[in-house]
A and B are shown apart, each in its own frame.
Chain A
Amino acid sequence: MSRPALSHMRKDRRTAAVRALACVAALGALASGGVAAADSAAATRTMAVSGSTPEICALQPGAVQTGSLVNMTGLDGDTLRVAQFADPRTLAVRAADATLSISAVCNFPHKVRVQSENNGMWPGDGSQKLDANGFTSAVPYRARVTWNGASNTLETDARVRHQVEDELSVNSPAVGNVELHVEIAPGASNSQANAPLLAGTYTDTLRIFLEPL
Chain B
Amino acid sequence: MIRKSSLALALALLGSTAAQAQTETAASNTASRAFQVTGNVPVICAGGALSGGDSTFALGVLVNTTTGLLRTDLSAPDKVLTGAFCSALSTISVAATRMTAQNVTTAAPAGFSNSVDFTATASGWTTTPASVNTAASTNPAATQSRTTPFSGNITVGLSNFATTGGTTLRPVADTSYLGSVTVTLTAAN
Binding site for B on A (CB under 8 A): 24, 27-28, 30-31, 36-37, 40-56, 58, 105, 107-108, 172-176
Kindly identify which residue among A48, A58, A175, A176 contacts B57, using a CB–CB cutoff of 8 Å: A48
Task: Find out whether the CB atom of A52 lies under 8 angstroms from the CB atom of B177.
Answer: yes
Shortest 6 CB-CB contacts between residues of A and residues of B: A43-B47, A51-B59, A108-B173, A175-B111, A49-B179, A41-B187
Q: Which residues of A contact B42 (CB under 8 A)?
A: 30-31, 36-37, 40-41
Closest partner residue, chain B, to A44 (CB atom): B184
Number of interface residues of B (CB under 8 A): 62
Task: Find out whether the CB atom of B63 lies under 8 angstroms from the CB atom of A53.
Answer: yes
Task: Find out whether the CB atom of A54 lies under 8 angstroms from the CB atom of B55.
Answer: no
Task: Find out whether the CB atom of A40 lies under 8 angstroms from the CB atom of B57.
Answer: no
Q: Decide yes or no whether B172 CB sits under 8 A from chain A.
A: yes
Task: Find out whether the CB atom of B38 lies under 8 angstroms from the CB atom of A28.
Answer: yes
Q: Decide yes or no whether B162 CB sits under 8 A from chain A.
A: no
Q: Interface residues of B: mostly helix, strand, loop or mixed?
A: strand
Binding site for A on B (CB under 8 A): 38-40, 42-48, 50, 55-63, 65-68, 74, 76, 79, 81, 84, 86, 88, 96, 99, 101, 106, 108-112, 116, 118, 156, 158, 170-187
Q: Which residues of A contact B59 (CB under 8 A)?
A: 49-51
Closest partner residue, chain A, to B109 (CB atom): A172
Q: Complex formed: what's the CA distance from A46 to B44 in Å?
A: 19
Known: A42-B186, A51-B61. 13 other contacts (CB 8 A): A31-B40, A42-B187, A46-B182, A49-B158, A49-B178, A51-B177, A53-B173, A56-B68, A107-B68, A107-B170, A172-B106, A173-B109, A175-B111
Q: Which residues of B contact A43 (CB under 8 A)?
A: 45-48, 84, 86, 184-185
Q: How far is the CB of A210 from chain B (nearest CB, A)?
A: 11
Q: How far is the CB of A83 from chain B (nearest CB, A)?
A: 34
Q: Which residues of B contact A42 (CB under 8 A)?
A: 45, 184-187
Task: Find out whether the CB atom of A107 lies under 8 angstroms from the CB atom of B112.
Answer: yes
Task: Find out whether the CB atom of A48 lies under 8 angstroms from the CB atom of B56.
Answer: yes
Task: Find out whether the CB atom of A24 lies under 8 angstroms from the CB atom of B44.
Answer: no
Kindly identify which residue among B39, B48, B67 contacts A58, using a CB–CB cutoff of 8 Å: B67
Task: Find out whether the CB atom of A47 lies under 8 angstroms from the CB atom of B43.
Answer: no
Task: Find out whether the CB atom of A53 lies under 8 angstroms from the CB atom of B45.
Answer: no
Q: How far is the CB of B56 from chain A (nearest CB, A)?
A: 4
Q: Which residues of B contact A173 (CB under 8 A)?
A: 108-109, 111-112, 170, 172-173
Q: Complex formed: what's the CA distance from A78 to B176 in Å?
A: 37
Task: Find out whether the CB atom of B111 lies under 8 angstroms from the CB atom of A174.
Answer: yes
Task: Find out whether the CB atom of B56 lies under 8 angstroms from the CB atom of A53.
Answer: no
Closest partner residue, chain B, to A176 (CB atom): B111
Task: Find out whether the CB atom of A44 lies under 8 angstroms from the CB atom of B66.
Answer: no
Q: Which residues of B contact A46 (CB under 8 A)?
A: 55, 180-183
Task: Find out whether the CB atom of B68 lies under 8 angstroms from the CB atom of A52.
Answer: no
Q: Which residues of B contact A28 (CB under 8 A)?
A: 38-40
Q: Which residues of A contact B183 (CB under 8 A)?
A: 44-47
Q: Complex formed: what's the CA distance from A46 to B122 in Å?
A: 12
